[in-house]
Amino acid sequence: MPREPYQRCSQAIFEAWLKPRIQGNPLIDSHYGMKFETLTEHDGYVESELIDREGVTHVVRSHYVIACDGAGSRVRRSVGIQLDGGPVPGAMWLIHFKSRDLSRLQSQGQFWHIFFTSGHALIAQDEVDTWTLHTPIQVGASVDHLDPREAIYQGLGGEGPPFPIQVDEILVTSVWRPMICLAEKYASAGMRVFLAGDSAHQNIPTGGYGMNTAVGDSFDIGWKISAVLHGYAGPLLLASYEQERRPVGARNIERSGVHFEVHSTYVQWSRDAPGVITSSTPEGVDLRERVAQLLRERDGENRDLGIELGYRYSPSPVVVAPQNDGDEPKWTERTFVPSTWPGSRVPHVFLRDGKTSSFDILGTGPEFTLVDFTANAAFIEVFEPVFQARGVPYKVAHLPDQTHVRTIWQRDAVLVRPDDHVAWRASDSIPAFSVKVDEVLDIALGIGSQGLAKTLAGSAGTKQHFTSTVGVVPVEHVQGLGEFQR
């Protein structure tokens, strides 16, 4: 387990923090209040049609477009990319509300989530006054005649009587359909439009993988587009985006379905025996123990560190495969093994000062970072002239005295990409002066990548079924979708 305490941040809070920083960044032109309509991909550029609040149409020409427009992505539809997967049984009524009635809400103690055997779920968004309740409903059911406050009381009561609280304000309500689906492709035919976030993959909130997976998408495609636009990378670097990120998306959304199945199991047990779960009868004691045992044995929702931290891009056409380097570390959903095996996210280790993280020594922009643990900076000596000759942004970190970091990082030199994943690491059997630096950079920058077309052809267009979904259903045919999903 990580030594540092976990932190969580509601997406609503994070976006409120992020927005003024976007608006204040001189490198970003932000245009809020614009609605995307459609796009056309041309040879060498993309034209996007946007409409402002006054109804005026604007046509924007760009080299590339990244679809960060959510589950109902118009960008994805514009380039004709389909989704695999489908909905899970039932629908949800979301009620987002304010309440400072903590003596009632936290009568059982402080919490992040409360899952009820009735199928309701309550989320503490800030543990101060903002909460979200999800109420299970039938697909197609109307909630127009229902009182959100009464629904809150009913939900908090679980299978017992309503549990009234002081609700200060109803912020928003909406009906939505839990979906698990994955885009057949992450890039358009012309390789100028890329999907990221919910436009590429949709999962149930169980596990909390949605936004975290989306950030990984954006980090991956962002630095790659930058490298190509600045002329020091090849077009195969962009093609590698799907190769690296689609397997991560598939694995994460599948795991969210596994977690959902756990909740569905105990909810169904309770429905099969109405009133028993809260009774003091032997049957009630037995059912509660069955639920507890289920949650003890299948507790991956908050403990699957392999999903959250341990994924690696292996194989990847833009990661230099290790030669004679032993066996790749075993990956499981449960465990995180810090490693610099190529394709891994580099391990966090505090340097000797106890304050500086190994991440603090890495580049914070488009730079590749060469971390060299040798006494004489032997690898920096051979890499630096090549970086300069090729115009590749770089940073070097010479750490000859950080032996404990070297132990965990495992090699004398590690080349770290702008997204903090390992592009290459030194071999214990090859001295620095024998490293073919140009070949390393050709692969890392998508100039000399091998086997890409074959691997991509084998991954895209495959119909997939995910745990908890009801068959494989085209999203356009799914009933009961929320407005944001359509």
**Mutual orientation of helices 282-297 and 236-272 as an angle, nearest 10°?**
170
pLDDT 10s digits, 111-133: 999 999 999 999 999 889 999 99
Q: What is the mean pLDDT of residues 180-209?
A: 94
- Do residues 49 and 167 share a domain? no
Structural domain total, the chain? 3
For residues 222-228, average pLDDT: 98
If asked whether residues 148 and 186 sit together in one domain, one would say: no
Burial of 194 (0-12, 13-18, 19+ CB in 10 A): buried
What residues does 50 pair with on adjacent strands? 36, 58
Q: How far apart are CA 326 and CA 228, in angstroms?
A: 33
Domain with 411, as residue range(s), is 319-445
Q: Is the domain of 236 the same as that of 96? A: no
In a domain, 427, yes or no: yes
Alpha helices in 319-398 (DSSP H): 378-390
Same domain, 197 and 69: yes
Backbone torsion region of residue 451, taken as left when φ is above 0, otherwise alpha when ψ lies between -120 and 50, otherwise beta: left
For residue 109, tell me if it sits in a domain. Answer: yes
Are residues 162 and 189 located together in one domain of the fold? no
The verdict on residue 265 lying in a domain is yes
Give me the mean pLDDT over the 309-314 stretch. 90
Tokens of 195: 């999907």
Do the Cβ atoms of 199 and 104 come closer than 8 Å? no
Residues 132 and 154 in one domain: yes
Work out the pLDDT band at 468, boundaries 50, 70, 90. Answer: low
Q: How confident is the model at residue 261 (pLDDT cuts 50, 70, 90)?
A: very high
Average pLDDT over residues 317-329: 87
Hey, which bits of 113-160 come out as E strands? 113-115, 121-124, 130-137
Average pLDDT, the chain: 91
What is the C-alpha separation between 232 and 251, in angstroms, rounded? 32
> What are the tens digits of pLDDT across the range 83-101?
988 888 889 999 999 999 9
> Residue 261 maps to which CATH number?
3.50.50.60
Residue pLDDT, tens place only, 473-483? 455 555 555 56
- What's residue 11's pLDDT? 81
| Cut 0.85: pTM above it | yes
* pLDDT (average), residues 309-315: 90
Question: E strands, 184-299, where?
Answer: 193-195, 201-202
Identify the band that residue 323 occupies on the pLDDT scale cut at 50, 70 and 90.
confident
**357 and 327, same structural domain?**
yes
Q: Which residue has the higher pLDDT, 404 or 179?
A: 404
CA distance 189 to 88: 31
Q: Where are the beta strands (DSSP E) in 53-142?
A: 57-62, 65-67, 83-87, 91-98, 113-115, 121-124, 130-137
Is 484's pLDDT higher than 50?
yes
Q: Would you state the pLDDT for residue 440?
A: 96
pLDDT at 390: 97
Asked if residue 472 belongs to a domain, the reply is no
Provide the pLDDT for residue 459. 45
Say if residue 137 is in the same domain as residue 253. Answer: no
Closest by CA to 216, choosing from 186, 178, 176, 255, is 186
Q: Is residue 263 part of a domain?
A: yes
- The yes-or-no verdict on residue 297 having pLDDT over 90 is yes
Considering the domain architecture, whether residues 189 and 250 belong to the same structural domain is answered as yes
- At 195 the three-state DSSP class reads strand
Query: pLDDT class for 217, splitting at 50, 70, 90?
Result: very high
